[in-house]
Every structure is written in C-alpha cells, then in structure tokens.
Amino acid sequence: MSAPLRVGVIGVGVISKQYFETFPRLSNLRLTAVADLDVERAKAVAAEQGVAALTVPELLASDDVDVVLNLTIPAAHVPVGTDALRAGKHVYAEKPLGLDPAEAAPMLALAEERGLRVGSAPDTVLGTGIQTARRLLDDGAVGAPLSAAVAWSSPGHERWHPAPFFYYQPGGGPLLDMGPYYLTALVTLFGPVERVSGTSRRSPRERSVGTGPNAGAPVPVTTDTSMNAILEHRDGTVSTVSFSFDLWATRRPLFEVYGTEGTIAVPDPNRFDDPVELWTAGTGEWRAAPANAGYPGAARGTGLADMARAIETGRPHRASGDLALHVLEIMAAVTVSSETHTVVELQTTVDRPEAVPEGADPATW
C-alpha cells in the first residue's frame, strides 16, 4: 500500500463527528486539516483531532491535502467541490452531490478533464447489509426480481436537529435528505433507472425547533415535505418509493425486494450492517440471512477509503460521482414529474458498482 491519502475536511458540523470516529480505522487515509466558516469551531475540532485549522482558501492551497472531504450544506457541495478540483484536489462529498444535475454535471466533467476523482456519500451501501442483500439477489435466492417497495418517514428533523432550517429550504426536503440512501441502494441492487413518475405535496403543519439554542424558533417551509414515485429500472424491475417529513407513525415496510420465488427484507440503507431477512417459497417462513458480502465494520468514510484504494490501483471507485449524479437526476425527475404530471425519461445512466466481497478491507482490496 502506498502512503495514505491526506484528507482535508471542509465543514465540521454534526456529521463530521462520524467521519472522525472512523478515520483511525482506515489505514489508507490520514486527516491533516479542517476548515469551517465558523473559525472558532474549526479551531476546536482541529485541537481535538491534532491537525491544522485552516481557512477554506488555505486548505484548498495546502500541499498537505490530497483530497477534500466536503461536509458543507447541500447548496455548497458543488461550489466547494469545484474550487477543490481547480486546486488539484480529489473530492469526496456528503450527499446529495448537488442541488440539481445541471449544476453538478460540470463538476464531474472538470474532474475528468483534470484526471481527478469525485466521490459522494452515501457509502452505507458498501456495508454488509446492502451488499448481503445484493448477493442474495445476484445468486437468485428469490428468483427473478420483479419489484421493490421503499418507505421512509418521520415527523420532521426539527424535533431533534438544533438547526434544521436548511432541511425545509430548496435543496432540502425528505427526498434530497433521505432519498440518496434508498435510491443509491436501489441502483446498487437493480442498476440504473430509465423512467420516473412522481407526486409530491407540502404539509400546512407549522413547525418549530425542538432542541438546542434555537428551541421554539419557527421553521419556514419552502419545499415539499412528502414525495412518492415509481421508478422503472433498465433491468425491468419497478421500484415504488415514498419519503416524508409528515408522518407521526407508520407500519409500512421499510425496504423489501420481491422476486418470483420470494422476498428479501433489505436493512435500513442509512445504516451499514443491519441484518437481512429472507422469505422463500420453498421454506414458507422468514429466516435471517448470514452476512456474506460487504466491508465488515464499515462506517462513514469507508467510501472515501474505497476511493483512495481505487486511485492507488487504477480501478473505478464504488461511491462515485457518476452514481451520485444519476441518483440526483432520479430525485430531480420526481420533482419534475410531480409538477408536470408526466413520465420523465432520464438522461444519465451508470453501471452497477462492483460488488464488495465478504470480508474485504477498503484500504487493501
């Protein structure tokens, strides 16, 4: 293995803690610097991590940074990522890749032009949960795949997030916030989507911050809060998806795959290693499916380690910008379909990412 890829983090908010917890276990990554618009917060995090606290321009210009981990808000993902590429850095960003495909596509073109990599969360699909479900599907455990049903809901992030305002602005909403986990998993399982039909609505319910220093502050809502769609995959599978910030409770299945010979209960794609369950016509009952694929112990940052290894070996990385762009177009198509009451044909496509074999290490495999 060559020298670790040196990582500079821009944006040290809530999600950054999960990455910092994972870095010590990823031998091909080394955190070297952090930056944030809140300079004092950056200094505090830098002291905790034993790295340099820099301004954003300083981090982009640093010779001690090979890749920028972009953990800013969604509206800044493309501007910050583009600046990093222009500075000669690889980029790995939190989801979504951008606010819309037209904004994000030029960033990927710039990366290709400069021989740099762009990766994007979610990397949860690289854990043992989704990868075991994929292996069952590929091995024919439920026969030929027919359809999938996905449903995610909550009463709203304002109940737990101390500053939830961006979730209810353009670039937020349940689709852009939670959709990438489920849609990336669906593309990982079945391949790209070709056509989308969607509906959406905005709840009239008034919202306020439930915790932290902003508790009680009203949360203006300027984006739709519930979305539903039908996705037609290239392989013929049809997925129905539902995402909502409006539901107080539900008993609907979270994620199920239906085949000619049975059903796979897919674990939560917002997590890495929850168990998979399998029901087949031959057994007539649910049973646990042993984990037999995926990076064991995966956590946020695994996709970046996989990208670092791909850079070293010259292979495609799994949590790629192309995959994230396709997922972003799926989400944009849901909105367009809802507004126009039409079926939307997608323009992007992507190959299914290479499967992760059992027991692989992202730093060496």
Domain 5-120 architecture: 3-Layer(aba) Sandwich (3.40)
Q: What are 80-95's pLDDT values in tens digits?
A: 999 999 999 999 999 9
Which of 18, 49, 22, 23 minimizes the C-alpha distance to 34?
Answer: 49
Q: Which of 226, 138, 134, 140 is nearest to 177 (CA)?
A: 226
* pLDDT at position 1: 59
The secondary structure of 29-66, three-state, reads EEEEEEECCCHHHHHHHHHHHCCEECCHHHHHHCCCCC
Helix, strand, or coil (residue 106):
helix
Read off the pLDDT of each residue in 117-129 and give the average, rounded to a whole number.
98
For 91, phi then psi, to 5°, come to -135, 135
Question: In the chain, which segments carry CATH 3.40.50.720?
Answer: 5-120
Query: What is the mean pLDDT of the segment spanning 318-344?
Result: 97
Q: Burial of 277 by CB count in 10 Å (0-12 exposed, 13-18 middle, 19+ buried)?
A: middle
Q: Residue ranges of the alpha helices (H) in 126-275?
A: 128-138, 173-190
Bridging pattern class, strands 193-201 and 344-345: antiparallel
How far apart CA 228 and CA 356 sit, in angstroms, is 30
* Residue with tokens 């920028």, as numbered in its chain: 68
- pLDDT reported for residue 247: 95
The alpha carbon of 158 is separated from its chain's Cα centroid by a whole number of angstroms, namely: 21
The mean pLDDT of 250-257, rounded to a whole number, is 87
Question: Average pLDDT in the 121-142 region?
Answer: 98
- For residue 84, give the 3-state DSSP assignment: helix
Query: Mean pLDDT across the stretch 310-319?
Result: 97
Residues involved in catalysis: 95
**Mean of pLDDT values over 98-115:** 97
CATH of 125-289, one of 3.40.50.2000, 3.40.50.11720, 3.50.30.50, 3.30.360.10: 3.30.360.10
How would residue 20 be classed by pLDDT, with cut points 50, 70 and 90?
Answer: very high
User: How far is Cα 149 from Cα 187, in angstroms, rounded to an integer?
Assistant: 13
User: Is it the case that residue 253 has pLDDT exceeding 90?
Assistant: no
pLDDT tens digits along 192-246: 999 999 999 999 999 999 999 999 999 999 999 999 999 999 999 999 999 999 9
Read off the tokens for 57: 């321009």
Share of the chain above pLDDT 70, in %: 100
User: Rounded to two decimals, what is the model's pTM?
Assistant: 0.94
Mean pLDDT throughout 264-283? 96
Residues 6 or more apart in contact with residue 324 via CB below 8 angstroms: 95, 96, 97, 104, 119, 120, 180, 184
**pLDDT at position 148:** 98
Q: Which contacts qualify for 51-54: CB closer than 8 Å, 24 or more apart?
A: 54/8
Where does CATH 3.30.360.10 sit in the chain?
125-289
Tell me: pLDDT of 108 over 90: yes
Which pLDDT belongs to residue 170? Answer: 82
Query: Rounded CA gap, 39 and 50, in Å?
Result: 16
Residue 212 has what DSSP assignment?
A: S
Q: What is the pLDDT, as a whole number, of residue 55?
A: 97
